[in-house]
Amino acid sequence: MRSRTGVFIGNLLFAALCCCTGPLFLAVGYSAWADDPGWGWPAAVAAAGAAITLTIPVAAIKSTRAEFPGITRRDRLKGGGFPYPDDTFVLLAPRSGQGSPRARLTRADVLEAALLRYNPDGESTFTTHVGNYTPDEFTPLVRLSLRVRATEETEETEETEEAEEPDETDTSAEFEVTGEWRVPSVCLSAITAGRLVVLVEPAAPGEPPVVVPDWPRSALLAGTRTSRLIDLEGRPAEVTRRVDRQLRQMRISREAGGVVMTGDTIDLRRLDPYTAARYAALADRYRAHPEEQAPVSEPGEERRRLADQMPGEEGEFGWVGRRWSRRGGVLVRARFLEMRGTTTFQDHGPVLDTVLRVRPADGTSSFDAARRLTVPMNYLTALHRTKEVVLLAAPNGRSHVVDWARTNLLAGVTEARVITPDGRELPVAGRPELVWALMNLLASRGLSVTSPVLDLRKRRLRAVAGEVTRVLGEHTDARTCA
């Protein structure tokens, strides 16, 4: 990972190259003014040169802050931060089309997924677009095979009608479809989780149904975004990954023209009486017959895994700077509380307005920080599983730097492995606490491992082989006891 100083020097040289006319004008104006003092053209040329020259460090500072993922005291939120619990995650995704009034809103399971096209040509620079939209070159085109579920019958239908055999034109029956769709980057995790919300338009006889994914609702159904509800009596209920209940709530919301979520919560006391009554009746139904949470990811994730096809840093145990390690730098964990899209993009990910809750390593109270960050695409594919990030804390604790390589290894974007001194290969994927312990052990010893494989047969790692084996044993015992 490049240091902030290295990034600043690179940007300073680039800005100086782009604004080289400034020092030239300054030198020419000063030389002419020495021969002809006064407020004539030499002074004007010198003033213009000084103004252009001054933009060089200013541009370098601004571009370094945008490019370097650092969190300083100026980013901390005042007044106690966000009033969100630690397990809250608010995601504001681009709007999807609402479809015709006759369109059926239902669930679709992702059977297979493959990236077809993602080819921005920004050369890793920041690209900003005017208007509230995401251009196609920064929106992955993904080929999906979906199984569209049949619509669940309502209680009224069950009481008044008999079930009928679906005919070929009945779009309410279950069917499979394959197509290509543009997927907003912040909603990629819904594909990995395997649960989407789709709108099925009525089809003419003999024509295949038209299926349009609703990406913001898909992120909600997948559990990427947390969901809660406060009923008319002020009682909270956790709705995250309660798939059947969420679908029914979405249908009520769609019929009402939309229901606003405050953070990740729907408060029935703020809705119109008719919509609130429908929500309350649904809440009473599931209070009497609770619904189990759906799994974090549906079976068959290996057939829809997009992380390996998306740009972003490869996961690794991490680079350790000698000066940082000797002075007492430590690794720190943080968690995303909120993500909001912007109209700025880089080749390897969108630039998002984020809020993080940082947990200092010294045990002091956590704090919230708001920071605009470029979030790698491959990390966004795993957002349904984890919202955690790894930070490099400065020895004085005043600044933190997001380490995306370590973050992607902790999140399971890249699978971590340990090779023991006797050559045995131990996969540690899906065990973030073990990966975190190994990262901290290596960082405390000042050892860099810039790959996802911790090979204890290497000479420079033999000194910590015993400690790594002990850590592996402790976490294996803890997992067995659990």
Residues 283 and 151 in one domain: yes
Single residue among 302, 337, 370 that ends a domain in this structure: 302
DSSP 275-332: HHHHHHHHHHHHHHSPPPPPPSS-S-GGGS--GGGS-SPPP-SB---HHHHHTT-EEE
Of the three residues 302, 321, 351, the one that is the final residue of a domain is 302
- Quickly state the pLDDT bin for 406 (edges 50, 70, 90): very high
Range with the poorest average pLDDT among 73-82, 155-164, 345-354: 155-164
Is the distance from CB of 203 to CB of 169 less than 8 angstroms? yes
Convert the pLDDT of each residue in 96-137 to its tens digit. 878 888 899 999 999 999 999 998 876 667 888 877 667 888
On whether both 426 and 466 belong to a single domain, the answer is yes
Residue 164: band (very low, low, confident or very high) from pLDDT cuts 50, 70, 90: very low
C-beta neighbour count of 344 within 10 angstroms: 17
> What domain count does the chain have?
3
Q: Which of 456, 474, 473, 466 is nearest to 317 (CA)?
A: 456
pLDDT tens figures, 338-348: 999 999 999 99
Relative orientation angle of helices 4-18 and 41-67, to the nearest 10 degrees: 150
Give SS3 for 411.
Answer: coil
In this predicted structure, what is the pLDDT of residue 126? Answer: 83
The Cα–Cα gap between 60 and 12 comes to 5
- 29 and 94 together in one domain: no
For 169, 201, 211, 257, the CA distances from 254, given in Å and listed in that order, are 24, 15, 17, 5
For the ranges 32-41, 62-71, 144-153, 283-292, the lowest mean pLDDT is seen at 32-41
Residue 320: name the closest of 405, 220, 431, 250 by CA.
405
Q: What is the per-residue pLDDT across 230-262, written as a single tens digit (0 to 9) for each? A: 999 999 999 999 999 999 999 999 999 999 899
Beta strands at 228-230 and 265-267: parallel, antiparallel or unpaired: parallel
Note whether 250 and 231 are same-domain residues.
yes
Task: Specify if 120 maps to a domain.
Answer: yes
Do 470 and 374 share a structural domain? yes
Q: What is the pLDDT of residue 413?
A: 95
Residue-number span of the structural domain to which 389 is assigned: 313-481
Q: Note the pLDDT of residue 2.
A: 60
75 found inside a domain = no
Clarify whether residues 63 and 125 are in a common domain: no
Instruction: Using a pLDDT cut of 70, give the percent of the chain over it.
Output: 85
Q: Is 131 a member of any domain? A: yes
Distance CA(179)–CA(105), nearest Å, equals 18
Q: Are residues 200 and 252 in the same domain?
A: yes
Same domain, 295 and 242: yes
Residue 427's CB is within 10 A of a number of other CB atoms, namely 10
- Indicate whether 81 belongs to any domain: no
Same domain, 253 and 399: no
* Same domain for 178 and 100: yes
In a domain, 138, yes or no: yes
445-452 average pLDDT score: 94
Per-residue confidence (pLDDT) for residue 481, from 0 to 100: 47
pLDDT value of position 464: 93
Q: Are 55 and 19 in contact (CB under 8 A)?
A: yes
Note the Cα 36 to chain centre separation in Å. 61
Residues 108 and 240 in one domain: yes
Task: Please indicate, yes or no, if residue 41 is contained in any of the structural domains.
Answer: yes
Same domain, 265 and 329: no
362 within some domain: yes
Q: Using the 3D structure, point to which of 38, 68, 98 is the last residue of a domain.
A: 68
For 347-429, list the strands marked E by DSSP. Answer: 349-359, 367-374, 388-393, 400-402, 417-419, 425-427
Is 78 contained in some domain? no
Mean of pLDDT values over 17-31: 72
Closest CA to 192 of 170, 219, 168, 210: 219
